[in-house]
Structure formats: structure tokens, C-alpha cells
Amino acid sequence: MGIEGASPRNSRAILRHPAALRSERLPRSGKRACGDCRAFVQVEILAESGGAPGVPNRGALESTLNKPRNLYRYCDGVTLYDLAASYGYGLVKNHCFVDGNKRITLIAVYTFLFVNGIELTASEVEAASFFLDLAASFQTQEVDIKRLADWLQINSQLRKRSP
């Protein structure tokens, strides 16, 4: 596993569509998912690393989550790296959460790729450095998304599937 401490084991169920979670039990709490699973993801990450929970602008979060869906449906030649980069750029630049935006972004991108058969192989230090740089960038959205997609492709590999 490239990112130390990151595990898609629990994240797989968490990041699926909320309707798919209604009958599943959530990790740690044992409670059934019935609320906003994105807020749960944030709370889980912040419980591990610290910070204040909250979503100050739900519109920014919804916009961020819908952009990759639109890319997938309406653009030709979109790769999984492009979709992951779109999620990553939106989460880090739109400041969707009160705290932990870069941490949540890294885990979300890592999990999206993992669930789709790709493992991020960059070290934790390399990934943190890249996402800090991305958050501080003044480039255009197109330039930063392309840069993130390229970085993800260079720093990932196809996962070996168990027989």
C-alpha cells in the first residue's frame, strides 16, 4: 500500500452512493447508515487526525461531486485518472469542509482509484507535498486538473487481483 495508514477497507462502503448504504453497517460505529455519508467520511478522517467537522457550503460539495459524473457522461476519452483528478481538484480547491480538506481529498482520490483497480504508489510524504502544492496553486482549473491526473497516473499502478 503506497499511502501509509490509508486503507480502502472501510472506505469502500463509505464512499458508495448513499442509497446503497441504507442496509449496511458503518465501520466503527456499528450503526446503520441513514444520513449524509460524506459527513461520516469527514468525521472518520478527523477522528484519526484531528480537526473540526462541518460542511460550510453544501452547494460547493455537491458541485465538486457532480463534476466527475458529468465528465464521465458527456466527455469522450476520460480516464479514471481524469475523474480522480476532478474529484481531487474540487475537494481541495472548493474548501468543501471546515477542516481536513487536503486529508479528505487524498483519501477520497486514493479510495476512488483503489475501488477502480488502481493503487496509488506515491509515498505519504510525496502525496502530502503534491496536495499541499495543489491547494496553494494559482494555475487555472484545467491546468491543475491535468497536472493532478498526470501525477496520479505516474504514481499509480494497476492492482493485482486475487484469483
pLDDT number for residue 132: 92
* pLDDT at 5 exceeding the cut of 70: no
Rounded to two decimals, what is the model's pTM? 0.70
Burial of 97 (0-12, 13-18, 19+ CB in 10 A): buried
User: What number does CATH give the domain 8-158?
Assistant: 1.20.120.1870
Beta strands in 59-125 (DSSP E): 118-120
Share of the chain above pLDDT 90, in %: 41
pLDDT-derived band at 50 (thresholds 50, 70, 90) equals: low
Please state, in angstroms and rounded to a whole number, the distance separating the CA atoms of residues 123 and 49.
Answer: 18
Phi-psi region of 50 (alpha: psi -120 to 50; beta: other; left: phi over 0): left
Which residue matches cell numbers 493503487? 119
